[in-house]
């Protein structure tokens, strides 16, 4: 189980990812706020993070890193206008989390096959399982 500081770090990372040189779009804000609630982070802490990012904390658990990567994939695909630049940014976030570059590439490739490019959680988990077995 991750602690509050790690949860704040995850959320801060997602806010940074969504802030791709512009303000958060309302749909991104709503999605991130829902993630904050899921993580048990209050709105005041969430709003604080939108202005004051905190330092990234590397998660020890492989499964938590995969879940975070999936959140980032979902966040990226909320924005219908995402670009190659956001895919590169996602790829780099995945590498920084210590995920396999083969798995990251496979997720980026396979997401084109799904409606709205949203990879189902079970498919994403299977992709990473192949690399770690």
Residue 82 confidence (pLDDT) above 90: no
Task: Please report which confidence band the pLDDT of residue 126 belongs to, taking 50, 70 and 90 as the band edges.
Answer: very high
42: left (phi over 0), alpha (psi -120 to 50) or beta: beta
Contact 18, 32 (CB under 8 A): yes
Contact 102, 36 (CB under 8 A): no
Q: What percent of the chain has pLDDT over 70?
A: 93
| Dist. CA 44–CA 41, nearest whole Å | 8
CB count in 10 Å sphere of residue 48: 15
Over residues 28-47, the mean pLDDT reads: 95
| Dist. CA 98–CA 106, nearest whole Å | 15
- pLDDT, position 11: 95
| Dist. CA 10–CA 12, nearest whole Å | 5
Q: What percent of the chain has pLDDT over 90?
A: 62
DSSP 79: S
Domain boundaries, the chain: 1-57, 60-132
Q: Where does residue 107 rank: exposed (0-12), middle (13-18), buried (19+ CB within 10 A)?
A: buried
Q: What is the pTM of this model?
A: 0.90
């Amino acid at each position: 189980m991750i602690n509050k500081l790690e949860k704040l770090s995850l959320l801060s990372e997602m806010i940074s990812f969504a802030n791709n040189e512009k303000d958060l779009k309302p749909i991104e804000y709503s999605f991130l706020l829902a993630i904050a609630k899921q993580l048990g982070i209050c709105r005041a802490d969430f709003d604080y993070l939108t202005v004051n990012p905190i330092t990234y904390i590397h998660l020890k658990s492989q499964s938590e890193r995969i879940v975070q990567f999936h959140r980032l994939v979902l966040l990226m695909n909320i924005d219908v206008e995402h670009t190659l630049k956001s895919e590169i940014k996602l790829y780099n976030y995945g590498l920084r989390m210590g995920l396999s570059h083969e798995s990251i590439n496979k997720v980026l490739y396979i997401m084109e096959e799904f409606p709205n490019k949203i990879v189902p959680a079970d498919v994403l988990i299977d992709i990473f399982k192949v690399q770690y077995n």
